[in-house]
Amino acid sequence: MRRKDREITETDEILAVIGKSKIMHLGLFDDGYPYIVPLHFGFEYADGRPVFYVHCAKEGHKLDLIRRNPHVCVETECDVKLLSGGEDPCSYSSEYASFIGHGEAEILREPEQKIRGLSCLMRHQTGREFAFTEQMAAAAAVVRITVSEYSAKARRPKPV
């Protein structure tokens, strides 16, 4: 990371950045070009690494790409605020906090795993617990993304 002064290293702070984010940008390999899609997500921290869950239709381009190459990149951001540069356009900037990670995506097959993923997603997005049946879980594809390498950084407001 080039800007070490903005690096977030504490696990609790990194998880807070993910926790405040509501949309994940998922990067996939699509022949000669990257394919990036914004998704609602849920997450948990397991075995020392972030694990993300997303859901989608049972067929489609995203799932085809994951089947071809499960290596993915995920990105989330929160606390984005424009910082005015007044009359100098080169002085504009922003406050933010972000997370970026590389890992592997897996299309879940077992009903219990899919229910766990859907539960994480709904808890993260709504702050509520929901009960899922196997029939409900069977209606969608659920993808688990286990992140193996990651970093986080922030540009926060200066103390007054």
In this structure, what CATH number is given to the domain that contains residue 89?
Answer: 2.30.110.10
Q: pLDDT value at position 1? A: 58
Q: pLDDT value at position 96? A: 92
160 within some domain: no
66 within some domain: yes
pTM beyond 0.85: the answer is: yes
Tell me which residue range forms the domain holding 49.
4-155
Q: Which token pair is 3?
A: 């800007």
Report how far residue 4's alpha carbon sits from residue 136's, in angstroms, rounded to the nearest whole number. 45
Q: pLDDT value at position 94? A: 87
DSSP labels for 8-37? E--HHHHHHHHHH--EEEEEEEETTEEEEE
Q: pLDDT value at position 159? A: 65
Place of tokens 């972000």: 98
Mean pLDDT of successive 10-residue segments in the chain (160 residues)? 76 96 98 96 96 97 97 96 89 91 98 97 96 95 98 82
Residues in Cβ contact with 92 at an 8 Å cutoff, skipping those fewer than 6 apart: 82, 83, 84, 85
87 within some domain: yes
Please, is 14 exposed, middle or buried when counting C-beta atoms within 10 Å of its C-beta (0-12, 13-18, 19+)?
A: buried
